[in-house]
Amino acid sequence: MTDSAPPRGPQPDAGTERAALGGRDDAESPHEDLADHRAEADEPAREQRPARKGSLLRETAIIVVSALVLSLLIKTFLVQAFFIPSASMEDTLVEGDRVMVSRLVPGAFDVHRGDVVVFKDPGGWLPPPAPQDESPVSEAVRAALTFVGLLPQDTGEHLIKRVVGVPGDHVVCCDAEGRVSVNGEPIDETYIKPGSVPSQDEFDRTVPEDMLFVMGDNRQNSADSRYNTGKPGGGFVPMGNVVGTAFVKVWPLSHLGLLRNPGDVFADVPEVEP
């Protein structure tokens, strides 16, 4: 028994095969078809590139603006950096130090004897500022960065001193041992610069309501409440002029450290009866 050959039907020609594979006519090859698909796929990518660049710029702008706003809010309500311009607070602070100041005092917290406070000049305590030798652009950039809190506040119109008397206190110098007395209690001021005396000049002052009596730790080199009696405020600092209390030295790193209130110095000072 012999096998019979399978019937042979019509065979597809090359053009039909190409049509089945790629739907193209005889004049186009599979390679050309693949290239066309790649070109079509690349068109959306080229359209997306400018959109991605625009999105990146928007995100960067949002981050920068958010950082500036956050810095401004922190400076306004929490902390602010200040630059120490003189030797009046040596050895606690030296010229060139940078300190951080809490804006929560006064306000959320009270000012206490012994606090180191930054305050706006009540009027005439500071000499007119020397002109800065810088270009208008540089000055504008510096002012803007200082405003938002990215640079420390310069000397401008601010001073930094230690609170010795709060409202109602009777501050007197000097007793038989040359010490300052507050409400009749002599105090041993451990923070004044070694070699300094509590005061080379006598004084007898009662601190008015809503005012402060301040002195520098470098007593023989500090134009403080003792020497501004003829100026606005009579040598006292209005509470409204207080920017805040310095609580930490941040620069240079060799001076890094907390500024603690020397509470023991004033521990025995009696409170004034209202």
Positions marked catalytic? 88, 161
Q: At 164, is the secondary structure helix, strand, or coil?
A: strand
State CA 24 to chain mean position distance: 69
Beta bridge partners of 182: 171, 185
Q: At 173, is the secondary structure helix, strand, or coil?
A: strand
Token pair, residue 61, equals 């702008």
Within the chain, how many helices (H) and strands (E) appear? 3, 12
Residues contacting residue 28 through CB under 8 Å, at least 6 positions apart: 22
Burial class (CB in 10 A: 0-12, 13-18, 19+), 213: buried
For 156-221, the DSSP string reads TTEEEEEEEE-TT-EEEE--TTS-EEETTEE---TTSPTT--S-SS-EEEEPPTTEEEEE-SSGGG
